Chains A and B, each alone.
Chain A
Amino acid sequence: MQGLNQVESPERLVVHFLENSDEDSKSALEKMSAGAKFKYTYDNENSNLGFGKGHNFLFNKYKHEYGEFFMLLNPDTLPFYNFLQRFEGFRKSIEKSEKTWGIIELAQFPKEHPKDYDEKTFVTDWASAAAAIYRTSIFDDLQGFDESLFMYCEDVDISWRIRERGYTIYHCPIAKVAHLTRELDKRKDPSFEEIYSKAGNLYLRHKYFPKAQVKMYRHFIKGSPYIRKIDKEYKEILERAQDKGIKGYKKFKSPKIFPDTNYSFHRW
């Protein structure tokens, strides 16, 4: 709240909050938002829908109000006051030559996101959804995030699907958002990321690569202290995917994904 209030021209912003638990945080939010210069909405579905489903819920409810693009922002972030102005400058500069961007990922601070980007073009393989700006039409066409995933890797999945449609994904190193990741916030439970990101990784392999890739990765992580929980979560992801009619192993023709390099190593 504080961070968004400090953004240049906050009155231009409309922020949609979703309480992704059974807690009633409305009065707390109202208290925090006293003096807020931006408009906001509050929704509460009384349960944790998961990352992708939660965002899809908000997108479907409010997309008719969106412009050409919209932004996703984690609650454990604090955007720099100049991030919108920096983003605008970056967007205009890439649109001079490239009009088909799908996502522009913002830079994370103080620890940079460990995934790499091309230093000359700023093109990246996928965008972290902790702080990123999406093109509304393509997000809508793809029906948003894959809801089979509860948390982690849904951002990799949508990035790949967006790239398959011919759109480019950029990393914008000059627009920054402070992100208190698990590494920086010792109160966060480390097992959560381990279980859900590894289960998500297995699912991405199931979805886009031959079975051998799933087997290989399962072998690679067998020493994890959470392996049973990872297997359980992976099974649940597969069940949810089956319910939605999502089939495994859909090989992308273009653009290429790089399973064997460090280019997309993080989460992959």
Chain B
Amino acid sequence: MATDTTHLVPDPLFAAAADGSGAPQKTVSMPIGVPGFTLHEEQRTIPASQPPVLPVNKDLDYIGKSPERWDGHAKVTGRARYTADVQLPGMLYASFVNATVPHAKILSIDTSAAESSPGVKGVHVIETLLGGAVLRNPALDVSKYPIVRYAGQPVAAVAATTPQAADDAAAKVKVQYEALPFVVDMDKAREANAPQVFPGPADQAGTAGGGGSARGIPQTGNVHGPSVKKHGDAEQGFKDAHVVVDTHHYTQVQTHSALETHGVVADWKPELLTVYASTQGIASVREELAAYFHLPKSQVRVITEYMGGGFGAKFGGGNQGVVAAALSRKTGAPVRLMLNRQEEHLSVGNRPSSDQHLRIGATKDGDITAIQLISYGTAGCGTGAGCAGPATNLYKWAALHTEENDVFINAGPAAAFRAPGHPQGAFALEQSIDDLAGRLSMDPIVLRDRIDENPVRRVQRQIVRESAIWKSRSARSNADAGPIKRGIGLSQSVWYRHLNLKCGAEVRVHKDGSVEVLSAVQDIGSGIKTVLAQILAEQFGVPPAKVSVKVGDSNYPVGPNSGGSVTTASLTPAVRDAAWQASQKFLSSIAPALGTPPSDLSLSHGMVSSASGKFKPVSFRVAAAKMNTDEVSAQVMRTPDYDPSKYDTYGGVDVAEVAVDTETGRIHVKRVLAVHDCGRPMNPNQVISQICGGVIQGISYTLFEHRLLDPNHGLMVNPDLDRYKIAGAYEVPEIEVQLTESYIGQSSTDASGIGEAAGIISAGAAIGNAFYNATGVRIRQLPMTPAVVFAALNQPQQSMEAI
């Protein structure tokens, strides 16, 4: 249905770079909207070198279908080799020595006993620490060694012949501390006379996954902020309002807890540093290590064949990368440094907490006259606790005023965590929007239809409205008479079309009819390998399982860092462009043997045909034997989006059904309906896997997960996976996922990402709104443990009265 309306320039293969700067253009008609609801065609003017417009999924052979995960066999048989599994000849095992106190100046480090410990080959003392906020004036830290700002901060490391020998030796490193006063409670840290985590203003840069804070934000004591955004006159907006909802919400610190911890195997050779890394960003690891060791990037190779989860925390080389490389250089042997579970909780990232004061003013009809959000959150000794994204971007408002503050405490620095700031922000916003609907006696969907301009979410709400679960919702809250009360609630999510345009891929066609794609992207579990195979399958008619997918190695063309749901949206157009260009070169390569010009040839559905009828269609494989060279290839960088002015946020609507046991204080999530948008779903089954995962991670965040710090000693009391409770098989509800296939006419694949928007943003508020529907009581604190539930059930409700 979607067709090119212009002809290609004579030779698209050699057209000028498709960066929009003076390159030839063509106007095409593209599918836009949601099939079954809003699908239509729109014109786009795009670089002439772009491949033909891809029709909607139902008209394709492989894209939009769900072939088996390309590396599924390797994963179920244990063949998949993760960083933790890499074993090189002569490899040493390294262990960190970590600070045992939350705040201190290190006076001395005695490594002599460790060095003479059995099996030890090298000891490294950390003099430059990565991660966390950095003082604007570094001279304020007068110390030979980095100041200890949290218990668990790496101080040194030991490399030995076995993991046990390394642990033994690490325990023999003697660190002499001069203790400094510490604070691990955010409210105490905000007090005027609180111990100071930093002696002056400090900032943390974001990573490829997001997080961090802008520079130049004011800082008073431990409070880094506010970061202020003002649009319109919020005070006037509140004066104009018929109703003002005024709420306070609190969320806890969550740790990423990927099953594979952070870690690397570093192999330092004079000509090349090879680093196997458990990372979401091969490019980011290469960049950071090259910069740290003053090596040209060409002499740093990073490999990530498989990685066991990151969720935003795994970017850059990190202390483990730097230390392992240093130890490898020192010992002349490859060094493996994988964090243990405790270190994973303490030192490599977390989702910041939040304390949010939100005010929403609205007219009688529900139009928002003003939103004001004042938030505080702690990212430990880092920054990045801002959570105004949902309040800013989900609904239309006449005026907006947000102030985000980071509060330093003596705890490990935060890192980007799946939709940074958004689960926190949506928990407050989406419960408050339901409050507003209640105050206006409006249905929560009707109100959202009025104030939410996103066309896809409008479709999604229609799907929700017609769903069995929503129809079974009682409009009246606290409708069940017994001790177990059922309720249903919804929440929306918002995410953004973030892209990494500095990525590319190479596609090769061989004379034996085999095809391969090469890109230094990493598959973090979202299944990009499968998707790349599908793109080549669509182009050449080869089954995806037969496509050779080479990723996870910086020897290939640079790939995107996988953070912020950018991977599929960024990389797939480059791969499709490369596949298309390679196919055109392929046709040129077989044309002489077929005695016809390339323009007479076409390749579709795996068959090569002649427009002039010179020969009967032959299979791609048979035709490949006619190539006049052994191999053709095309390497392509990502073309910018066709029309970034039509920039769209996207997201979803999640509905939760809960059963609240008012006698035990437990909330059981029974059912979830997750309606989500990821542009063109490239592999729906894999997308559904991610959404189920986001929903479950969101339930886990909402009900269970909680990093607990002991205020007396400044230590984390649950740095493991038994006392740090994560949702397991018993806590998983029945989950129904509905994908809203959506076309926005932005690239040659028109795919977006799903990782962030998938469930975790909206779970807290969906469960909160369901809890209200069940009990008639608001719960405004995470995690919703039995104690929190009882406190809510026994408290008179204040917020609704406040105006």
- A, B in one complex: no
Interface residues of B (CB under 8 A from A): none
